[in-house]
Amino acid sequence: MIEHAGFRPYELPLRHAWNSARGGFAQRCGWLVWVEADGLTGYGDCAPLPAAGTETHEAAGAALARLTASLPGQDVATGLAALDADGDTSETPAARFALECALTDLASRHQGLSLRDWLAPDSAPIARISVNAMLGPLGTVRGEDLVTRHAQGFRVLKLKVGVETPASDLDALIALMRPPLVGAGLDVGLRLDANGAWSFDQARRLIERLIQLRLPIESIEEPLTEPTPERLAALQALAPFPLALDESLPARFATHDTSRLAGTDPAQFGVRRLVLKPAALGGLRRTLELARRAQAAGIEVVVTSLVESAAGLWPTAQLAGAIASPIPQGLATADWLAADLGRAPRPCAGRLELPDRSGSGFVPWPPASTDSGTQEARAVEPVSGDDPNPGANPSLG
Ligand SMILES: O=C(O)CCC(=O)C1=CC=C[C@@H](O)[C@@H]1C(=O)O
Ligand SMILES: [Mg+2]
């Protein structure tokens, strides 16, 4: 029986401002959410990011107040069923994700299962997840950074493009991959994320040049400002690498609404890959369902974080373990944060290792002696000793 459910605000500074064609941020603000039942506590993270397809901070806060107030007195299964039946959460995916994480963390702890095993009991979840490194905007990255990331074990390196013009991006990519430092010998693929920066003609011309130059492009996320399925399919027919949908997915396919998700055919999207952010899609289980439908249709999936706290990164990584996509996932974001709410999953040799213990893996730092009403955040050092984006301009923050 649930005795208590609550949420406390947090603010986590970044080491460097995050920048993209959709704007950026220098800190992540959200709430640690928890639910207590029978001596155990489950945790979730609500960190809205409207540019990635979530609700606003205000809407998320109001939804958390309503949802947590309704839980005490219910058992965990009933709380999850009530969340599923709650149509009002369709406009507040980050709040819904947070509550679902807390309830499923609790349910899996009660059953002594890791969250990935609880989510996917009939399949074969994986505990080692290959991840991409996230280097930041192309203009801030140097050839040495690619070499360093390669030496750390990453084989897919993600760069933000579309912050500058397509012509400058192309020049910067050519300069970045110039021998002898990088050259053809470095075994890495570049995952470019345009965050909707380009017109169809800009994207087509750029893709044609990338092909001519034989640059090692692994994929491009959200190339188009107006990503209609027809335009995307035309571009995808041209590109030898996958194009991916990301932030345009929640709104376009109304995946906040489970009933509409069930009627969605991923083959109609026009692209070879979907980037799935469970906090923008409204939860772990519906993202798992969408991933399965996509994989059955031959579409690749990549689970990524919202650059949120360890309380959100752990369940998102567990979801990736349940989905078991064979390509690198977008979960190496913990080192972007200068402080966190608990120990975060961090890659070693380009992989995250998920623990076998029950639940999501998140454990908050023990409370400090003073009660400020704000969740305690502690400064953290990057585990590898490497800054995620040493070339980034700190003045952006
Ligand atoms: O995919 C990754 O490696 C990390 C996550 C990531 O890139 C993003 C998270 C949140 C906001 C976005 O700017 C960005 C994305 O668009 O994919
Ligand atoms: Mg993206």
CATH number of the domain residue 126 falls in: 3.20.20.120
Mean pLDDT of the 334-347 span: 97
Residue bearing tokens 């406390």: 8
- H or E stretch covering 171: helix 166-176
> At which of 112, 129, 163 does a domain end?
112
Instruction: Establish whether 45 is an annotated binding residue.
Output: no
The CB-side HSE value for 1 (13 A sphere, CA atoms) comes to: 3
Same domain, 254 and 236: yes
- Residue 309 Cβ inside 6 Å of ligand 1? The answer reads no
Q: Report residue 206 as tokens.
A: 């750029």
Alpha-carbon gap, residue 84 to 78, rounded angstroms: 10
Same domain, 64 and 99: yes
- Nearest alpha carbon to residue 33 among 110, 105, 115, 99: 99
Residue 339 belongs to domain spanning: 118-396
DSSP state of 21: T
Mean pLDDT of the 219-232 span: 96
Instruction: Establish whether 105 is an annotated binding residue.
Output: no
Same domain, 344 and 269: yes
Q: Which one is catalytic: 15, 57, 110, 160?
A: 160
DSSP state of 155: S
Alpha-carbon gap, residue 359 to 124, rounded angstroms: 17
The total of structural domains in the chain comes to 2
> At which of 97, 112, 127 does a domain end?
112
* Cis amide linkage into residue 382, ω under 30° from 0: no
- The dihedrals phi and psi of 48, each to the nearest 5 degrees, come to -60, 145
- Domain of 78, CATH number, reads 3.30.390.10
Same domain, 140 and 234: yes
**What pLDDT is attached to residue 384?**
56
Instruction: Establish whether 265 is an annotated binding residue.
Output: no
pTM confidence score:
0.94
Same domain, 130 and 249: yes
**What pLDDT is attached to residue 254?**
53
> At which of 112, 139, 155 does a domain end?
112
Alpha-carbon gap, residue 277 to 220, rounded angstroms: 16
- pLDDT of residue 396 exceeding 50, the answer is no
Same domain, 129 and 107: no
20-37 pLDDT, tens digit per residue, is: 999 999 999 999 999 999
- Residue 305 Cβ inside 6 Å of ligand 1? The answer reads yes
More confident residue, 371 or 293: 293
Same domain, 48 and 154: no
- pLDDT of residue 252 exceeding 70, the answer is no
Mean pLDDT of the 24-51 span: 97
Distance from Cα 111 to the centre of ligand 2, integer Å: 35
**C-alpha 139, offset from chain centre:** 22
- pLDDT of residue 386 exceeding 60, the answer is no
**Contact between residue 169 and residue 194 where contact means Cβ atoms under 8 Å apart:** no
Position 383, amino acid: V
For ligand 1, atom 1: residue with the closest CA: 330
Alpha-carbon gap, residue 99 to 32, rounded angstroms: 10
Quick one: 40 exposed, middle or buried, by C-beta within 10 A (0-12, 13-18, 19+)? middle
The CB-side HSE value for 317 (13 A sphere, CA atoms) comes to: 32
98-141 pLDDT, tens digit per residue, is: 999 999 999 999 999 999 999 999 999 999 999 999 999 999 99
Same domain, 299 and 339: yes
Alpha-carbon gap, residue 167 to 172, rounded angstroms: 9
- H or E stretch covering 274: strand 273-276
- pLDDT of residue 389 exceeding 70, the answer is no
ipTM over 0.90 threshold: yes
**What pLDDT is attached to residue 255?**
46
Same domain, 107 and 172: no
Same domain, 83 and 170: no
Q: Dihedral sign, CA of 234, 237, 239, 243?
A: positive
**Contact between residue 319 and residue 116 where contact means Cβ atoms under 8 Å apart:** yes
Residue bearing tokens 């400090």: 368
Mean pLDDT of the chain: 91
Same domain, 84 and 214: no
Same domain, 213 and 318: yes
